[in-house]
Structures are given as C-alpha cells and as structure tokens.
Structure 1
C-alpha cells in the first residue's frame, strides 16, 4: 500500500509518496512525470516516515544540509537505478555533469562510452525530487539543461545550496 502526504515548500506544494519500505516519490505540483510511480490505490495518511521527510525539507529549505537519512524505495529500470544511485552521491552544494555520470557508468560497466543523453533521460525520470538530487546535474558548460520541476526551481535549489559551477545561461 502506498501513502501520500503534502509538503508546502517555499517553491510550491509537493506531493510525498511512500510505502512500507521507504519514500517512493516526491513531486512539485504540476511537474513533468507528476506522480508517475504512484499506485492507483493509495491512502492519504501521516505515516512516521512523512514526519522525517518534512523535517528533512524544513532543514533543507532553511539553507542547511539535512543530516536525516530517509529510507528510499526507488522503482525503475536497471539503468535508471544506476543513475539514481550516482545522484545520491553528489554532495550538497556540488554539481556533476551528465557527461561525468555517463563516464562513471561506462567505467563501472567496463565499456568505452555511455550516452550523456541516456543519463539525462534517467535523471529526468527521478521520482524523488530534491532528496535524490537531480537538480545538481548540469550541462557540460555549466548550463542548466532541464529539470522536471522547471528550470526556475532548479535555479532556486542550487542557490539554496550555494552550489558553484553552474550558470543560468551556460556562459562564463
């Protein structure tokens, strides 16, 4: 059974979803792929995990790095899971390019190259916004190339973290 709750963030309302294993989704209202992995049958209920998730977001949106470990239950293809695992290793306030993630996967698999565009597709389908930090992934020249929640939110999230190495226009 999946459960849902809502969080009113400074960037807009967020839908939270979880099951008995962990957090399965976090989406900004009206974002691309909104509630994509939400089961047809779910219950709106304040389970203990949601209290931890809301506390995590309270700390995050106050401009600090949360130290609360949120159990996740991500469901995706093997490739998506590989990409999302790498996203979880990008430190607070840091960024990584799609190309760097592609090279990391290629190295791990023992192959010469991996498509940065394929990585971009997996990043874009990340079901747990912010906590699985897909907003920390940028283009090769530091450009902000897409975010399911909207580029405006990606900019705000990177500003909250005081992240370096990105540019609104990709130049400089």
Structure 2
C-alpha cells in the first residue's frame, strides 16, 4: 500500500499582536503559531514529520471557525474556545498542552505550579520546554504560564504579545 501524504491547510491570520499561521488537518486545528518567530521551523518540521504531511495555502471550515473565535477573543467577547484541536508531539508534550486547556481565562500559573498539577514537580524545565513547543498558541493558552516570581518569561510570539494577551484577559482591554 502506498504511503499517502496528508495535507495541512494553512492560512495567515492578522491578529493585533502579530500575524499567526493557522493550520488544520482532518477537521482539527493543529497550528496557531506566530508567523514571524524563529521557532516556526522547529514546529513546521515536527508537524510535517509526525503527520507525514505537507502544507497547502488554503482554508478549511475549522480554520474559518478558528478565525471567527479569534476575532471574538480579541474583541473581548470570547473566553473559551470551541475548536477541535489536534496536538502533535510526544505524549509528555501532549499532557502539558492538555493541562494548558484547564487554565481559566484571566488566570495565570507558574511553570512550577503547572509541573505540580501534572504530578512531575521536579520536571519544571521539561514542562517549560513542552510549553514552549506548543504549536496551538492562544487556543492552548501557553501565554497564561508565567515565571515563579510573576515575571513574563518565554513566549514564542514575544513578551510584548504575551503582555497584550494577558492585559486583554486580566484587565478586559479588547485588542480589536
């Protein structure tokens, strides 16, 4: 049997914090990543390899729904996303990304607290690395994870974007 290549449909989204690349495969969102950041190559290689897929610039129903929900989010009208997600990574990474979904809108947790919630309190660095490898930013809200001293640290979209997202959520400042 021939090994077929899957297609990841991708479309650029212009957010008030910077451009995002949205991607879907099999009716699930697998990508919402900052377009300009250097770690994009790592994310792209992981998605292409593990999904045995190539990119195609086009849209899909799930991408259109993600755009609608992102617009609502940036307008301060959405606090919970309802888009089907496909996490692509190791089992440990997926466990971290699923745990991110439990951090409520308007809340933050430290990397240490996230590690404790995952029952791996000594694996703070591994949790931080998995958080940094998240390919579905905003939907899996890695921006809600902060340093133990409440400092804004590490964010693929840049600390300015992280601050703006947290301002939206914590202070109710719509960005659109």
Q: TM-score, normalised by structure 1?
A: 0.85
Distance in 1, matches of 2:113 and 2:78, equals 23
Cα distance between partner residues in 1 of 2:104 and 2:13: 24
Q: Which residue of 2 aligns with 1:141?
A: 149
Within 5 Å, give how 1:49-88 maps onto structure 2: 49-88=62-101
Compare the two structures and name the one with the higher helix fraction.
2
- Paired position in structure 1 for 2:122: 114
Instruction: Confirm or deny that 1:29 pairs with 2:35.
Output: yes
Residue 100 of structure 1 pairs with residue 106 of structure 2 = no
The question of whether the paired residues in 1 share the 8 Å contact of 2:27 and 2:61 is answered with: no
1:89 is matched with 102
Q: What is the CA deviation profile of residues 85-112 of structure 1, one whole-angstrom value per residue up to 9, with x for unaligned ones? A: 1101100110011011111122xxxx6x
TM-score, normalisation: structure 2: 0.83
Q: Which moved more, 1:88-97 or 1:28-37?
A: 28-37
Q: Determine the structure 2 residue equivalent to 1:48.
A: 61
**Higher mean displacement: 124-133 or 30-39:** 30-39
Paired with 2:104 and 2:67, the residues of 1 have a C-alpha distance of 20
Q: Give RMSD over aligned pairs.
A: 1.6
Give structure 1 regions of 4+ aligned residues with deviation exceeding 6 angstroms.
none
Counterpart Cα distance in 1 of 2:138 and 2:159: 13
1:154 and 1:14 map into 2 onto residues whose CA distance is 14
Shift of 1:13: 1.5
Instruction: Give the CA deviation at 1:64.
Output: 2.7
Q: How big is each residue's C-alpha offset from its partner over 1:55-78, in whole Å with a ceiling of 9 and x where there is no partner? A: 111011102324451001111111
**Aligned mates of 1:66, 1:92 — CA distance in 2:** 6
| Number of equivalenced pairs | 158
How far apart, in 1, do the equivalents of 2:39 and 2:140 lie?
Answer: 15
**C-alpha contact 1:52 1:70 (8 A) present in aligned 2:** yes
1:10 corresponds to which residue?
A: 16
Partner-residue secondary structure (3-state), 2:170: coil
Greater RCO, 1 or 2 (C-alpha within 8 Å, sep 6+):
2
